[in-house]
Amino acid sequence: MTKKQKKELRKIIISAVFFVAAIVLKNIEILTVLFSAAAFAVCGYKSVVRAIKNLVRLNPLDEHLLMTVASIGAFVIGEPVEGAAVMVFYQVGELFQSIAVSKSRKEIAALADIAPESACVLRDGEFVTVSPEEVKLGDTLLIKAGERVPVDCKVTEGNADIDTKAITGESVPVAVSAGESVFSGSVNLNGAIRAEAVAVYKNSTVAKILELTENVSSRKSSYESFIHRFALVYTPIVVGAAVLLAVVPSIVLGNWFEWIKRALTFLVISCPCALVISVPLAFFAGLGRASSNGILIKGSNYLEAMAKADTVVFDKTGTLTTGGFFVTEINPVTVSNEELLKVCASAENFSNHPVADAVKREYTGKLLEVTDVKELAGMGICAQSEQGEILAGNKRLMEEYKVSYDEVSDLGTVVYVACDGKFLGTVTVSDKVKENAKSAIEALKKQGIKKTVILTGDKHTAAEAVAKAVGADRVHYELLPQDKVEITEKIINDGAKVIFCGDGINDAPVMAMADISVSMGQIGQDAAIEASDIVITDDNLEKLSSAIRLAKKTVGAARVNIVFCIGVKVAVLILGALGITNIWAAVFADVGVCVIAVLNSVRILSKKLTKF
């Protein structure tokens, strides 16, 4: 508990002592009144002050006024113990709510701790400590064990294990060395590293996450908006009803004492705090649970929309696939796999083409010595070696040098390799499907997603191969950006609730059109933050289904709270108006309903309920 909560608990304990004394000494009227008044004063003076302030501000109709009138009214009609009970139990409920809210806020509030306090920067040959905002692009940073990374940077020297949990939700530390990137807000667990700043603080990951979470409460779900509108209408109605209940039957039937008591009971029951607290709390808990697992949701309205989605549209490259080039197939004809790759890599060694880089990464052995390397635009490479002239390129290169070759399917970029006039075979370079892409789509279907669609500018064969590999329902290929917009619009017009999942950079028009847009692993990109409604900070596709499951649990909790709270309130209000329940039952009903609703909301924070 916080210091403030502990202080409130002490007040409640003191009030409880006075309250118990009032009950024990009920036969001695003066002591009963004094101890009841003491219990009321210790526990309820803040509510009385707030009620008076709200009256002065002409905004009186809230729970503080309801409880104050009910408590003081009970004293006036000669029921001091009941008057004290109203305020004591109300404050118990308020404390419980405060603790529950603190718990749900903890997940998001903890993100404030990721902000680095300082940076160690090389200036004039010496390392000096400055604020992160003073770090410039290209500065050399020294990050010691236990320190937070101040800005996004690239390691230039040293090795370390980096804790990225606050950024990506990944609990396993990431080992980094020279050449690897590190997110700001991460923690260096061991070893000192030097790094080059690749972004200033305001453009770094940590600043973007903090800005995102600060604005998260401004976008309300329809359930939260309903509760706000409901409270504005409900509270004046029940106060008016309580006044009528006290006055009209008293005039008609007499017995003012009885009807005023019923009216006070009616007021206590009518307090809307259970709804006002528990429904927003459910969504806040959902947002907090998501953020602690590397899923940043810009508002509870997006959480609600995700729960309704039935179709997921994927961008292919960089979302379902890695977005890079890799050697995916080696087809030798007259030599071994290793020899074919060796000859190909030797020719590609002096090229900076992405295909050449993929081949060079694949072959790690000793290369042939080559000379007179020529890069022929649109065809490939020709080079001289001790084994003869090497050709590595497309079919046009083979035809240009009149080499007989065996054609293969183009599920990627095919490099045809020949040496000394003889065709050696082919090396296929293509993008790779992510390891968890298929399981991610299977998980989406388990969450009720009816259709998965892939949109890509790739050729038919490559697109179909990816769709088959991941188990997508449909794939549209050879698309221009405007084609993607038209297809997505048609899906939406057919009545689907669409989540678009992409890289947040090249598909902004589609993202703007979809009901929900999700960026994968692009927290470092400005465009991703601006274009998407939800950012999954690492590259884990399976978190999309986890986010949908969490959204459904959150919306479900909010619905249950609304039905339960309103149902119980209406039932007990009727019983109170008929005189069947007394003020004691009203207090317990109000606090009990609130506690149950809050517990239902806080359940969302349970790791067992919402697994990631």
Residues with active-site annotation: 315
Q: Residue 507 and residue 319: Cα distance in Å, rounded? A: 12
Q: Which residues contact 3 (CB under 8 A, 6 or more apart)?
A: none
Count the neighbouring beta carbons within 10 Å of the beta carbon of residue 255. Answer: 10
- Tokens 């390392």 — which residue? 127
Q: Quote the CA–CA distance of 164 and 212 in Å, as a whole number.
A: 18
- Which one, of 611, 32, 535, lies nearest residue 302 by Cα? 535
Q: Which residue type sits at 119?
A: A
Q: Which segments of 271-312 does DSSP mark as H helices, in order?
A: 273-291, 300-308
99, two tokens = 């603790």
User: Between the CA of residue 489 and those of 103, 302, 497, 498, what are the distances in Å?
Assistant: 41, 19, 11, 10
H or E stretch covering 139: none
For residue 417, give the nearest of 402, 405, 429 by alpha carbon. 405
Residues 6+ apart with CB under 8 A from 452: 311, 312, 313, 314, 441, 444, 445, 471, 472, 473, 474
Q: If residue 109 lies in a helix (H) or strand (E), which one and from where to where?
A: helix 80-109
Instruction: Measure the CA–CA gap between 264 and 243, rounded to whole angstroms.
Output: 9
- Give CA–CA dist 423/405, Å, rounded: 6
- 3-state secondary structure (DSSP) of residue 383: strand
Q: Which residue has the tokens 């810009």?
A: 298
Tell me how far CA of residue 563 lies from CA of 584, 585, 599, in angstroms. Answer: 24, 20, 15
Work out the end-to-end distance of the chain between its first and last CA atoms, rounded to an integer number of angstroms.
Answer: 27
Sheet holding 119-123, edge to edge: 126-130, 119-123, 140-143, 193-197, 153-157, 181-182
Cα-flanking dihedrals φ and ψ of residue 321, to 5°? -115, 170
